[in-house]
Amino acid sequence: MKRDLLSHFDLTADEIRRVFARTVELKAKRARSELEHTLPGRTLGMIFEKASTRTRVSFEVGMFELGGHAVYLVRDGTQIGRGEPLRDTARVLGGYCHGIVVRTFGHAVAEELARFSPVPVLNGLTDLLHPCQVLADMYTVQERLGVSALEPGGARFAWLGDGNNMANSWIEACALLGLELTLACPEGYDPDPTVLERAKKKGDRRTKISIVRTPIEAARGRDVLSTDVWASMGQESEQRARTAAFSGFCFDEALLAQASPRAMVLHCLPAHRGEEITEAVLEGSQSAVFSQAENRLHVQKAILEMYLAPR
């Protein structure tokens, strides 16, 4: 039976740990130029309706290094752009490819592709969730703070800024692993309530998730602090209103000083220096931002193996 990865709840906590264990191996082997072709003859279809640097390149390079092939498809270069139903596209691509990555706006697009596709569909980003990114973020935490950081009672997490797809996926990941997460969001920019409710119902009972209104409340004593742009793709027209709403939310050195002495900084990129994060924090010694970006490749290779390897 085929499986999809649209949400972290499509995985178990043990499966996430197995993905990370395999990531350790894949990253080490790549550093020694010992690539494993575990997906020979496998093809990944990539439907991208949103612009991308890290998601596109990491999936394409990942498939190449695993011995497979990726086919990049943009909306206007396919019949989707001329109105072909998603259910038709899903079944056609499923006949050609062994898996599909979709990067789109509405989460319902990913859900419909998954419903009709005979092969696994992986969420490369929707407006609701960004699971592959947050899996890479979590792995980066493990890499820097140790495996115990991702166990209940381990590292304490903070999200600073918009309650967007990244915030929603942090909620899911922390709920699945039983972690403590505080999100600082301005009034009116909270995470999706259905995501919060699902995390409460499906998450580990040891999970602690709370929402506060000021960054300092979230940052105080935290081990992992993550942020993102204030206006995501498709929200450019809201830039002025969002800039006003997020006044006081810039992640600067004073805010970082409130965190744990071992605190690490994450940002999924692209970053607007001087807006949601300062140059000093982004480029400082506590920043893991560029390791985080690189780890998209290694984590997604482990995910691709899990979903696309011959059974």
- The full DSSP string for 139-163 is HHHHHHH-GGGGSTTS-EEEEES--
Spatial contact of 119 and 97, defined as CB atoms under 8 Å apart = yes
- Point out the residues that are catalytic: 103, 130, 133, 228, 268, 296
Distances from the Cα of 98 to the Cαs of 90, 124, 134, 232, 308, in angstroms?
Answer: 12, 16, 24, 30, 6
Spatial contact of 125 and 110, defined as CB atoms under 8 Å apart = no
In angstroms, the CA 38 to CA 197 distance is: 38
In angstroms, the CA 297 to CA 301 distance is: 6
* Token pair in block for residue 73: 């498809």
Spatial contact of 280 and 250, defined as CB atoms under 8 Å apart = no
* Token pair in block for residue 30: 């790549």
